[in-house]
Amino acid sequence: GQSLEQPSEVTAVEGAIVQINCTYQTSGFYGLSWYQQHDGGAPTFLSYNALDGLEETGRFSSFLSRSDSYGYLLLQELQMKDSASYFCAVRDLGDSNYQLIWGAGTKLIIKP
C-alpha cells in the first residue's frame, strides 16, 4: 500500500530550530512536497524536492533522500506565526497521474 508517516505533534521554542520528518512508501515516486496549514485555513505550498539533497527557501529548508524514502522540513528562527500543521505529500505516478498522496500532518506547537 501507499503511506506517508510523520509525527503527529512537535513542540519547539520560539527562535529555535525544528525538524519535521516524513517517511514514505509508495509504488512510484516523483517528488516530495511540503504544505503549511494554519488552524481553520487552507494548505499553502512550501517546497518541493524531486532530487536528493537540501532545498532552502528563507527560514525553511526541505531535504530528500530517495534511497531512504525519507525527507524532512527544517524550520529555523521559529516565530509564533509558524504554529501550524505541516503536511508532506508525494507525487505518485501510480494509478493516477494527478494524485498527491498526503501524510496525516504534524502539528507544530511553538512556545515563547
Q: Among 36, 82, 91, 110, which residue interacts with other proteins (rule: CB under 8 A)?
A: 91
Closer to other proteins by CB, 96 or 112: give it: 96
Q: Based on CB atoms, which residue is closest to other proteins, 50 or 54? A: 50
Tell the smallest beta-carbon distance from residue 105 to other proteins (Å): 5
> In angstroms, rounded to a whole number, what is the distance separating the alpha carbons of residues 17 and 12?
8
CA–CA gap between residue 108 and residue 11 (Å, rounded): 6
Residues between 3 and 42 that touch other proteins (CB under 8 A): 30-31, 33, 41-42
Q: Which of 101, 93, 108, 111 is nearest to 60 (CA)?
A: 108
Task: Please report, as ranges, the residues that interact with other proteins according to CB under 8 A.
Answer: 30-31, 33, 41-45, 48, 50, 87, 89, 91, 96-100, 102-105, 107
